[in-house]
Amino acid sequence: MDKAEASPHPPYLYPGYKSTVLRAPAQELIMPKLGPDSVELTSPVFGHQELGRRDFDLTVQHPGEPLGERIIVTGRVLDTAGRPVRNALVEVWQANAAGRYPHLGDLHPAPLDPNFTGAGRCLTGDDGRYRFITIKPGAYPWGNHHNAWRPAHIHYSVFGTAFTQRLVTQMYFPGDPLFAYDPIFQSIPGEKDREKLIARFDMDTTEPEWALGYQWDIVLGDTPTEAR
Amino acid sequence: MTAASESGSAGAGASPVTPSQTVGPFFGYALPYEAGPEVVPGWRPDAIRVRGRVLDGAGEPVPDALLEIWQADETGEIPRRPGGLARAGHDFSGFGRCGTDPDGGFWFTTVKPGPIGAAAPYIAVLVFARGLLKHVFTRLYFPEDAAAHAADPLLGDVPDERRATLIAEREGERRYRFDIHLQGERETVFLGF
């Protein structure tokens, strides 16, 4: 990897996404000469006993089945050398099939689904793999600009082996016509980097007569001094 | 996140890092959990309470931010055991999470971490919010440790006039206040991790 390569992350200030204007830090970030410290180079540890056994299945949290297209989303959490990150806590949340969140602030006039909350979590296995069963989320409008619509996405929160690797991001679905119009997706400067957020439809993950399958790997940033 | 790591692992076969995206406004039913702010229960005699607000560049509250803290225990030992989600028993997991209220307010009850090496005691703090395309990373130091601050490697790298943004204010016995300014004249020092 070229050392001069630009960061894959969006800049803090991206005026096309209005909320960044008053929230983006304006001062240079400070990089301590010694790099991150021992606390920052470690991460909280989470255990299976802290999670519900079915927390990975967003379709079984209510008495009935949610409406929408049932999907399996799976992939690995890796470091930049391709090594699996084991026991990583992966949390997801998303809109329902109609594009509505069960959140008081969501004013989109689309129906709530009494059988779908849209939050799940799991720990990665020894191969770094996570797996969720859910419903394909719908696109939804937001007030950022005239006729603004978010492409369908699942929010992800991931812990690595260092607090400096903490990642919150969004996974998108292939071929979404809204990519070109979405300032949040477009805030990522590099086209190849943007593509890293798009899951791949996978027939091998798809289960006959039951659910479509998507694969999406997550690569966490280097721990600056690889404290292993 | 641009430079290759010192381990040299970012050679052949290195994978590009997954880009960050905003946490958005609708995480409130998914990420915060009831015991999230209670790294230790507030009734513990050695508990400290930290509270503060997250403010934007106009000084307005940020009601849709999420804070996470991570820290050593009172002896300076970094916890290696689970429990941050379940808060079961008396194990100290070192991890806390709190969403902001309509006034941008947050709080944690925890213990004051012990020092590690030459560094003054601190709590690592992450802030996620709608409008933050990537989270920000900072540290909370304690006001009574002025002598240790003078020798702290990180604080030495921070311009004098901005150092105070990393130091909590004392509000009372074992009580601290730590406001986070995302932008503006009193913008908090954020770290380039």
Residue B89 has pLDDT above 90, yes or no: no
User: Is residue A62 annotated as a catalytic residue, yes or no?
Assistant: no
- pLDDT above 50: residue B11: no
Q: What is the band of A225 on the pLDDT scale with cuts at 50, 70, 90?
A: low
Hey, is the C-beta of A87 within 8 angstroms of any chain B C-beta?
Answer: no
Rounded Cα distance, B175 and B162, in Å: 23
Of B4, B25, B193, the CB nearest to A1: B4
pLDDT recorded at residue B12 = 45
Q: What is the pLDDT of residue A224?
A: 57
Query: What's at B113, amino acid-wise?
Result: P
Active site residue A9: no
- Contact indicator for A73, A129 with CB cutoff of 8 Å: no
**Is the pLDDT score of B10 beyond 50?**
no
% helix / strand / coil in chain A, to the nearest 5?
A: 10, 25, 65
Residue with tokens 């929010």, as numbered in its chain: A155
HSE toward the beta carbon, residue B136, CA cutoff 13 A: 29
Q: Is B144 exposed, middle or buried (0-12, 13-18, 19+ CB in 10 A)?
A: middle
Please tell me what DSSP assigns to residue B180: E
Distance CA A160, CA A162 (A): 5
| Amino acid A157: pLDDT | 98
How far apart are the C-alpha atoms of B191 and A30, rounded to whole Å?
A: 5
To the nearest 10°, report the CA torsion of B149, B152, B156, B158.
-70
Nearest to A22 among B11, B58, B191 (CB): B58
pLDDT for position B158: 95
**Complex-level ipTM:** 0.95
Domains of chain A and CATH, by start: 56-219 (2.60.130.10)
Does residue A23 carry a pLDDT above 60?
A: yes
Residue keyed to tokens 């957020």: A197
Out of A10, A78, A163, closest to residue B19 by CB: A10
How many angstroms separate the CA atoms of B124 and B139, rounded? 5
Give me the pLDDT at residue A109, please.
94
Query: Residues A49-61: pLDDT tens digits?
Result: 999 999 999 999 9
What is residue B70's three-state secondary structure?
Answer: strand
CB atoms within 10 A of CB B184: 16
Phi and psi at B101, nearest 5°, equal -90, 180
- Of A70, A153, A172, A214, which residue is the catalytic one? A153
pLDDT of A204-215, one tens digit each? 999 999 999 999
pLDDT of residue B6: 35
Contact A219, B17 (CB under 8 A): yes
- From the list A14, A17, A101, A214, the catalytic residue is A101
Instruction: Categorize the per-residue pLDDT at B87 as very low, low, confident or very high, splitting at 50, 70 and 90.
Output: confident
Contact between residue B53 and residue B103 where contact means Cβ atoms under 8 Å apart: yes
Q: How confident is the model at residue B9 (pLDDT cuts 50, 70, 90)?
A: very low
pLDDT band for position B90 (cuts 50, 70, 90): low
Q: Note which residues in 12-71 of chain A have CB less than 8 A from chain B.
A: 12, 14, 17-34, 36-40, 42-47, 49-51
Residue A129 known to be catalytic? no
**Taking a C-beta distance cutoff of 8 angstroms, is the pair A152, A136 a contact?**
yes
Hunting for tokens 């002896």 — which residue is that? B75
pLDDT bracket for residue B91 (50, 70, 90): confident
Which chain A residue is nearest to residue B39, measuring alpha carbons? A44
| Span A103-130, average pLDDT | 96
Contacts of B96 (CB under 8 A, 6+ apart): B36, B37, B38, B39, B68, B69, B70, B84, B108, B110
Read off the pLDDT of residues B36-68 as tens digits, 9 standing for 90 and up.
999 999 999 999 999 999 999 999 999 999 999
> What six digits make up the tokens of A147?
């006729």
Chain-centre distance for alpha carbon B82: 19
Neighbouring-strand partners of residue B69:
B96, B125
CA distances from B48 to B33, B76, B92 (A): 20, 16, 14
CA distance B168 to B13: 44
What pLDDT, on a 0 to 100 scale, did the predictor assign at position B191?
96
Terminal Cα distance for chain B, rounded: 7
Q: Is residue B21's pLDDT more than 80?
A: yes
List Cβ neighbours of A61 (8 Å cut-off, separation of 6 or more): A54, A115, A116, A117
Which entry of A150, A156, A172, A214 is annotated as an active-site residue?
A150
Domains in chain B with CATH codes: 21-181 (2.60.130.10)
pLDDT at B128: 98
* Strand stretches in chain A, DSSP E: 70-78, 89-94, 119-123, 129-135, 140-141, 149-150, 153-158, 167-172, 200-201, 212-215, 218-219
Please judge whether A103 and B26 are an interchain contact, meaning their C-beta atoms are less than 8 angstroms apart. yes
